[in-house]
A = this chain, B = another copy of it.
């Protein structure tokens, strides 16, 4: 008998039939003798519909009220799932974020969990109740409802697993696990049996949609064993954990991220502190910079190129036009770019990994605009319309078709 946390996304509970499907999965886990905590998101398009309602009334609605509004979505789905479980003869109780003890800071729309007071959760489990918790939401110190932002339900699930020292946290999705590349697009993409937290983190950050990276960070911090698996097809998924011995693979996956823009500043006067002034200005506006490249330009000037999220590209370019130290420089923003990355702990001990990737791209005639590397990943920025071809070529180079 174990304590298992199971998380289901919005599409898994989109209608009555799917709610019953989830109830059956949970019921089987419970009836096998396990204690079960379930975290659910709002049904299907509920959150989008609520956002739409708000926009119609006030396009710049206060964020506190937005969170109050959106929290209603999970309130509906948790109650429905509890009803479904009761109809299967399983005692179940639904808890809102605040009822489940989710204390967050006050950053409405993307609040951070400060702690979970697990008293109520533990009391309900002790009564052998299945506890269904509203994902994505919490409460701040003023007793106001907050939401955790994109992918927040994953984070809720991992946080509960950590707080209760659960044996496992299962993240149910519409895919069967973590793949070496998007299986809908890349021929020969393979499902991974295991992956380390760090690898998963790189994959999540680099555009693999399976798991939210905040949830992976938290799982790593608290050593929560994650399993990514399908709510529709009952086969083993991918285990995410700190692995010492693992199936030997040079890389774990190839990802594509199109949420990228490249800002270039050409002909910057070579004075001290220019770089500082550029990136200070951006961070003051909460713009995260990913890759930075600085090179010598003509006539004793420098060129600075950096990548940010697509949305922030034009914003950053506009901001920098007002910067006096950049007078005379040419500022340009290119949003037709994408980032392609390979991830794998194995590359640490294989110096040839980067070369192999660049060779695959070269053979396919793809031009690399920027490069960034870490111990377990290599990313390149290329033209957006070449990204899918690039992923296939790189994947084929590292993970040959069977």
State how many angstroms separate the Cβ of A160 from the closest Cβ of chain B.
17
**Inter-subunit contact A57/B87 (CB<8 Å):** yes
Any chain B CB within 8 A of the CB of A111?
Answer: no
**Inter-subunit contact A69/B62 (CB<8 Å):** no
> Which interface residue of A62, A79, A84, A92 has the most chain B CB atoms within 10 A?
A79
**Inter-subunit contact B62/A86 (CB<8 Å):** yes
**Inter-subunit contact B62/A82 (CB<8 Å):** yes
* Contact A65 to B53, CB < 8 A, known contacts A76-B72, A83-B58, A144-B99: no
State how many angstroms separate the Cβ of A62 from the closest Cβ of chain B.
5
**Inter-subunit contact B50/A65 (CB<8 Å):** no
State how many angstroms separate the Cβ of A55 from the closest Cβ of chain B.
9
Any chain B CB within 8 A of the CB of A93?
Answer: yes
- CB-CB < 8 A to A50: which residues of B? 76
**Inter-subunit contact A69/B61 (CB<8 Å):** no
- CB-CB < 8 A to A75: which residues of B? 68-69, 71-72, 75
State how many angstroms separate the Cβ of A49 from the closest Cβ of chain B.
10
- CB-CB < 8 A to A84: which residues of B? 57-58
**Which residues of A177-232 are within 8 A (CB) of B?**
none
Any chain B CB within 8 A of the CB of A246?
Answer: no
Any chain B CB within 8 A of the CB of A277?
Answer: no
Any chain B CB within 8 A of the CB of A143?
Answer: yes
Checking B69, B76, B86, B92 against A79 with a beta-carbon cut-off of 8 angstroms, the contacting residue is B69
State how many angstroms separate the Cβ of A66 from the closest Cβ of chain B.
7
Name A43's closest neighbour in chain B (CB-CB). Answer: B53
Cα–Cα, bound, A68→B189 (Å): 43
Size category of the binding interface on chain A = 35 or more
**Which residues of A51-101 are within 8 A (CB) of B?**
53-54, 56-58, 61-62, 64-66, 68-69, 71-73, 75-76, 78-80, 82-84, 86-87, 92-94, 96, 99
Interface string of A135-146 (1 = CB under 8 A from B): 000000001110
- CB-CB < 8 A to A25: which residues of B? none
> Which interface residue of A58, A66, A84, A93 has the most chain B CB atoms within 10 A?
A58
**Inter-subunit contact B83/A61 (CB<8 Å):** yes
Checking B64, B69, B73, B82 against A80 with a beta-carbon cut-off of 8 angstroms, the contacting residue is B69
Cα–Cα, bound, A58→B79 (Å): 11
Cα–Cα, bound, A53→B72 (Å): 15
A-B contacts besides A58-B83, A69-B80, 15 pairs, CB < 8 Å: A54-B79, A54-B83, A57-B83, A58-B87, A61-B87, A65-B82, A65-B83, A65-B86, A68-B78, A69-B83, A71-B75, A72-B73, A72-B76, A75-B75, A99-B143
Closest 5 pairs between A and B when the two form their complex, measured CB to CB:
A69-B79, A58-B83, A72-B75, A61-B83, A72-B72
